[in-house]
Amino acid sequence: MKASIQFILSMIIFGTIGLVVRYIDLSSSETALFSSSIGCLFLTIVYISQRNKFSWKKIRQYAIILFVSGIALAGNWIFLYQSYDYTTLTNATLGYYFAPVFVMLLSPIILKEKLPIKKVICIVVAVIGMISIVGNGFSATGTDDLLGITFGITAAVFYAALMLLNKFIKEMNRLEVTIIQLGVTALILLPYVLLTEGLNMLSVSSSSIPFILFLGIVNTGIGFWLFFSGMEHLKGQSIAMLSYVDPLVAILISGLILQEQFTLLQVIGGLLLLGSTIVSETRFRRTTEKVNRSEYE
């Protein structure tokens, strides 16, 4: 139960990113670089203040996975933000949130997990709900739209890879894993930003600084800490289903805070998405909680 709560909290935090980014006057890649760098620095301070030491033996053992997962995180951000640049938020979201579908389909092959028919039904209902929510404005009328949607789906592939790769990292402090992956991500994004944006990021406005700090510390640092800690004890299919909490929160924020209008189809889609997630996790815990109770506590 603790793992599910941690993962859901991370999804809620991630769901607020779109709102925070609205107040930052930097390009998407520059924002990603700042958020990963600040998140890494913040969590390193927290880790050291807890008198923890980096387990270099384990880091060397999982060096390849840690590095590749850092690349996956960087690729996820780069392609997602590129998607936002080329197409509408609706089109980008529809492409990006096929990541849980990729996780569900690949987890039986990569993680050797069984794929119950109940999970299949719930993920299909969740996808229908997501399409209902964002499908109102879905269109691909030009080359830019198609390119943006392609970028969104590519970001989803990287996101799915990140979730699956982290399942192979065992016996490491989740905070330590998060620090390393964010550090790798920042190192990868730095040359990318310098090549594409130059040093424009140094001219950030003072009004953006509080939001950059919030994005780095809360949305990135704390968010990914909870994200990796929660997924450590969750099945791949459960991760896939709970991942839909993120876009649901983003959509609620758009309506309740940004005062964007909902259609009846979007309301129905939200109910389908939330309902399928609750049903999937409730039934999952009911059949396994007795066996794995200690794992969740």
pLDDT confidence band for 203 (50 / 70 / 90): confident
Instruction: Indicate the number of domains in the chain.
Output: 1
Secondary structure in 3-state letters for 247-268: HHHHHHHHHHCCCCCCCHHHHH
Give the pLDDT confidence score for residue 175 in this predicted structure: 84
> Could you tell me if residue 296 is inside a domain?
no
* Alpha carbon 137 to its chain's center: 23
pLDDT, average across residues 248-271: 73
Q: Note the pLDDT tens digit of each residue in 59-117.
A: 999 999 999 999 999 888 888 877 777 776 666 766 777 777 788 778 888 877 777 78
> Could you tell me if residue 133 is inside a domain?
yes
pLDDT confidence band for 135 (50 / 70 / 90): low
* 103/238 Cα distance (integer angstroms): 10
Closest CA to 274 of 44, 8, 96, 81: 8
Q: Note the pLDDT tens digit of each residue in 178-202.
A: 899 999 999 988 988 888 877 676 7
Q: Are 223 and 11 in contact (CB under 8 A)?
A: no
> Could you tell me if residue 94 is inside a domain?
yes
Give the pLDDT confidence score for residue 40 in this predicted structure: 94
Q: What length does the chain have?
A: 297
* 184/8 Cα distance (integer angstroms): 25
* 47/49 Cα distance (integer angstroms): 6
Can you list the positions of beta strands (E) in the chain?
A: none
Q: Are 284 and 292 in contact (CB under 8 A)?
A: no
* 50/165 Cα distance (integer angstroms): 27
Closest CA to 116 of 232, 272, 284: 284
Percent of the chain with pLDDT over 90: 15
Threshold 0.95, pTM exceeds: no
> Could you tell me if residue 163 is inside a domain?
yes
> Could you tell me if residue 295 is inside a domain?
no
pLDDT confidence band for 9 (50 / 70 / 90): very high
> Could you tell me if residue 157 is inside a domain?
yes
> Could you tell me if residue 294 is inside a domain?
no
Boundaries of domain holding 130: 2-288
Q: Note the pLDDT tens digit of each residue in 17-52.
A: 878 887 888 887 888 899 999 999 999 998 898 888
Tokens of 200: 């424009």
* 170/65 Cα distance (integer angstroms): 11
* Alpha carbon 27 to its chain's center: 19
Q: Are 3 and 236 in contact (CB under 8 A)?
A: no
Closest CA to 230 of 292, 186, 295, 184: 295
Whether pLDDT at 291 is above 70: no
